[in-house]
């Protein structure tokens, strides 16, 4: 069984129940699954990046803005603003980028301070 067949036979029936409960009770939700595989889709299409995303509004028909952004990013591959801002910061400040990369990756949250030779500007 490939991932798509497992999704169709085992996950989808459970999700149909969850979706119906959410609809019946006006619960906004988002759920995404990626089940790509190399065997090809039922119509011969490329199946490596198969995904399914369900995005439901609340009982008033209002979509949660956070869920909308997440669904759009999942469906369309839209980069998240924080990632773009970090990339721009690294490009504009290679010294900062190198200083951050040189920091050890902590197992627990720790605080670090970087000293730069000049001001840092971040465009959002």
Partners of 52 in beta bridges: 33
Interatomic CA distance for residues 31 and 53, integer angstroms: 6
Nearest CA among 4, 93, 101, 105 for reference residue 46: 4
Q: What is the pTM of this model?
A: 0.56
pLDDT tens over the chain, length 124 residues: 888 889 889 999 999 999 999 999 999 999 988 887 777 666 666 667 777 889 999 999 999 999 888 888 877 776 656 666 767 777 787 787 777 777 766 554 444 444 444 444 433 3
Q: How many residues does the chain have?
A: 124
């Amino acid at each position: 069984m490939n991932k798509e067949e497992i999704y169709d036979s085992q996950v989808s029936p459970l999700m149909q129940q969850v979706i119906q409960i959410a609809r019946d009770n006006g619960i906004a939700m988002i759920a995404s699954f990626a089940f790509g595989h190399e065997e090809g889709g039922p119509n011969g299409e490329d199946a490596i990046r198969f995904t399914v995303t369900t995005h439901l509004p609340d009982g008033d028909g209002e979509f949660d803005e956070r869920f909308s952004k997440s669904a759009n990013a999942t469906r369309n591959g839209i980069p998240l603003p924080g990632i773009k801002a970090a990339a721009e910061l690294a490009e504009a400040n290679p010294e900062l980028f190198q200083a951050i990369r040189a920091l050890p990756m902590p197992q627990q949250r720790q605080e670090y301070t970087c000293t730069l030779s000049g001001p840092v500007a971040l465009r959002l």
